[in-house]
Amino acid sequence: MPAIRRSCLCGGIAFEIAEKMGPIGQCHCSKCRKVSGTDGNAVCYARAKQFRWRRGEEMIKSFVVPNSNGWSSNFCGTCGSPVPHTDNANKIYFVPAGLLDDDPGHRGYAAHIFVGSKAPWVEIADSAPQFAKGFNSRRLNGPS
């Protein structure tokens, strides 16, 4: 399988994933809404050992949200696009699906998370499972 390429809006940051990524999920928490500027944040994941920065890693900025137990938002310092970040164990990259340059092969969302705090104007219209809070992504064919 050829590597899946992705980049930020200005193209300064680019990366690739050398294997099929995990399914795409939509997070509806207030933090993801603010990061994306819309009703949520579509994210997929990739094993860290299959992830490679192609360029622009030095352009990444990070904002640690006050009173959030270390939750941070990583973004391109030039165009503001959200960019991938790792889990606490540095084993998985959470990848904003909107940075897609190539087709990952997935269709639709595998799940909606944090729907208990979704924006009141959002109506989820697909049949993907909904979770009031987060869930362990390994339940949906996650990386080992």
pLDDT tens-digit profile of 18-70? 887 888 999 998 888 888 888 989 998 889 999 999 999 999 999 988 887 77
Which of 12, 21, 13 is CA-nearest to residue 102? 21
Query: What is the CA angle 48-49-50, rounded to 5?
Result: 90
Whether 17 and 7 have beta carbons less than 8 Å apart is answered as: no
* Residue 58 covered by a domain: yes
For the domain that residue 41 is a member of, what is the CATH number?
Answer: 2.170.150.70
Taking the C-alpha atoms of 85, 58, 60 and 86 in order, what is their torsion angle to the nearest 10 degrees? Answer: 10
Number of domains making up the chain: 1
The residues, any chain, with a CB within 8 Å of residue 93's CB and separated by 6 or more, are 17, 45, 46, 47, 48, 51, 84, 85, 86
Note the pTM of the prediction, 2 decimals. 0.81
* Residue 142 covered by a domain: no
